[in-house]
Structure 1
Amino acid sequence: MSKIKIEYTSNPGIIKFISEKMLTESSYEYNSIDDAKNSALVQQLFHLPFVKKVFITANFIALEKFDILEWKEVEKELQEILEMYLDQNDSLFSEDKTEQLVEVYAESTPNPNVQKFVTNKLLSNQHIELSSIEDAHEVPLAYELFGFPFVKEVFISDNYVSIQKTTDLDWFEVNNSLRDFLKEYLQSDRRIVAEGYKPSVKEAQQNNVKFTATDDDISKEIIAVLEEYIKPAVAGDGGNIQFLSYVPDTKEVNVLLQGACNGCPSSTITLKNGIEATLKQLLPGKIGAVNALN
């Protein structure tokens, strides 16, 4: 009998069901039952009223729920459903692999030098930020994007690519070229990221003072707030925020801003009026200041 292990994540709305065997070599993200034409199991999951999103990659299935119940109320039943399905079926996906038409559209961001290109295909479940072609050998999509002479930085996350350009041209001059390139690249099903690739976390410094990563209870509370309240808004603007450390003596929070947020003229306002204000409101008395160590 197939065995499924339940694993909680840092986001209380998301739970992972990990299989003892490989489920897929690709990654799939489903936002509704209409997206799930290639999987009877995912269609079955969306018939459950609390299922908001389904994500499948490697050896696990991740579910995001609507806030109408707690996972403990349903996780055992879900575990049994998945184990039974895997026992009765050789694959999670149907044999009819009708080619999905890839769509790509451009979105402006608060950073005038960064454009966000959104697609209907999952690109990566990691946050990948690259500032040169030399760093991109294990990220083929970014490597080819750096072939455009105006591409300065590339940030890949979820279903979008944020591209920072040089300042000597306007977006309207290159938008169509980038969109056409991305559509062709993704439609050809070429590899986006090398297997086993892990983004390197650049040693963030400010005034030459190195940070020390922390994992105390307040740090965990900060991470939970960032995941639930801050990251979705930042991702909507083509960026990402990564927690680095918490300094108990000064109550300072150190974070790393990535993608469109890095170098954005309005990032200081976002940091103080958005991120810092939210943390102070939700964690009263525990937050002094928020610093971006880029």
Structure 2
Amino acid sequence: MFIQTEATPNPATLKFLPGRPVLGEGMLDLTDPQAAAVSPLARSIFEVDGVTGVFLGPDFITITKSGGEWAQLKPALLGAIMEHFLSGAPVVEDAAALEQADSEEFFASEDAGIVETIKELLDTRVRPAVANDGGDITFRGFRDGVVYLNMKGACSGCPSSTATLKHGVENLLKHFVPEVREVQAA
């Protein structure tokens, strides 16, 4: 098994590509060892000292560290990932875990059409690009012309995430949805 790694815009996060499906569909953001209880793979990764976050994507794993150098952490992480996939254990034990709590959205019923357009733009134009960097961006709400989005994986805590939101996503949404005045992180 050959696992590739890619740098992300977030220096504290590295993207691992095991060359096979991880979740297939959906994404799962695990920010601590307790949250990782639903995933044998994430539990193994959190056992490596210095790991503070695991983000599971369709075909990638994004790992965030709190300290140490990637040169020292990478061999242990590659070993944990390889061992998991060779064991045949499931990536996630509880499929319901893929439908995380941040599915709660807020917006006025009269804004449903606007929200549908915003979600379509996010799904077709923004999320694929963000996934390439090892993260995800999800819709949280829309109120008074402000779109609230949640950044996950490599995007969470990334130094360039504010620029991505303000200059990339906000400009795109304002162009296609005149009712959007601003984009903020939820």
Equivalence for 1:80:
none
C-alpha distance in 2, partners of 1:178/1:149? 10
Equivalence for 1:244:
140
Work out the number of aligned pairs and report it. Answer: 182
User: If each structure's strand is expressed as a fraction of its own residues, which one has the higher value?
Assistant: 1
Equivalence for 1:257:
151
Give the partner amino acid of 2:181.
Answer: G
- In the TM superposition, residue 188 of structure 1 has moved relative to its aligned partner by 2.3
What secondary structure sits across from 1:136 in the alignment? Answer: helix
In the alignment, structure 1 residue 292 sits paired with structure 2 residue 181 = no
Residues 241 and 255, structure 1, Cα contact 8 Å, conserved in 2? yes
Residues 103 and 140, structure 2, Cα contact 8 Å, conserved in 1? no
C-alpha distance in 1, partners of 2:69/2:108? 42
Equivalence for 2:166:
272
Equivalence for 1:184:
83
Deviations 1:89-116 (A, max 9, x none): xxxxxxxxxxxxx331111101110001
C-alpha distance in 2, partners of 1:128/1:213? 24
Amino-acid identity (%): 30
Residues 48 and 76, structure 2, Cα contact 8 Å, conserved in 1? no
C-alpha distance in 2, partners of 1:174/1:137? 22
Q: Structure 1: 5+ residue runs without aligned partners? A: 1-101, 205-210
* 1:155 aligned to which of 55, 74, 77: 55
- Structure 1 stretches of 4+ moved >4 Å: none
Give the partner amino acid of 1:286.
Answer: E
Residues 107 and 141, structure 2, Cα contact 8 Å, conserved in 1? yes
* 1:120 aligned to which of 19, 25, 35: 19
In the alignment, structure 1 residue 135 sits paired with structure 2 residue 35 = yes
- In the TM superposition, residue 203 of structure 1 has moved relative to its aligned partner by 8.9
Q: Which has the larger radius of gyration?
A: 1
C-alpha distance in 2, partners of 1:191/1:239? 22
C-alpha distance in 2, partners of 1:246/1:213? 5
User: If each structure's helix is expressed as a fraction of its own residues, which one has the higher value?
Assistant: 2
Q: TM-score, normalised on structure 2?
A: 0.91
Q: Structure 2: 5+ residue runs without aligned partners? A: none
- In the TM superposition, residue 118 of structure 1 has moved relative to its aligned partner by 1.0
Equivalence for 2:66:
166
In the alignment, structure 1 residue 226 sits paired with structure 2 residue 155 = no
Residues 214/184 of structure 1: CA separation in 2 closer, same or farther (3 Å cut)? farther
C-alpha distance in 2, partners of 1:287/1:224? 14
C-alpha distance in 2, partners of 1:214/1:161? 35
The CA RMSD measured in Å over matched residues stands at 1.8
Q: TM-score, normalised on structure 1?
A: 0.59
Give the partner amino acid of 2:131.
Answer: A
- In the TM superposition, residue 180 of structure 1 has moved relative to its aligned partner by 2.7
Deviations 1:154-206 (A, max 9, x none): 11010111111012x111121122123212221222111014332422599xx
What secondary structure sits across from 1:158 in the alignment? Answer: coil
Equivalence for 1:145:
45
C-alpha distance in 2, partners of 1:194/1:185? 13
- In the TM superposition, residue 123 of structure 1 has moved relative to its aligned partner by 1.1
C-alpha distance in 2, partners of 1:234/1:203? 19
Report which structure shows greater RCO (CA 8 Å, sep ≥6). 2
Residues 106 and 179, structure 1, Cα contact 8 Å, conserved in 2? no
What secondary structure sits across from 2:137 in the alignment? Answer: strand
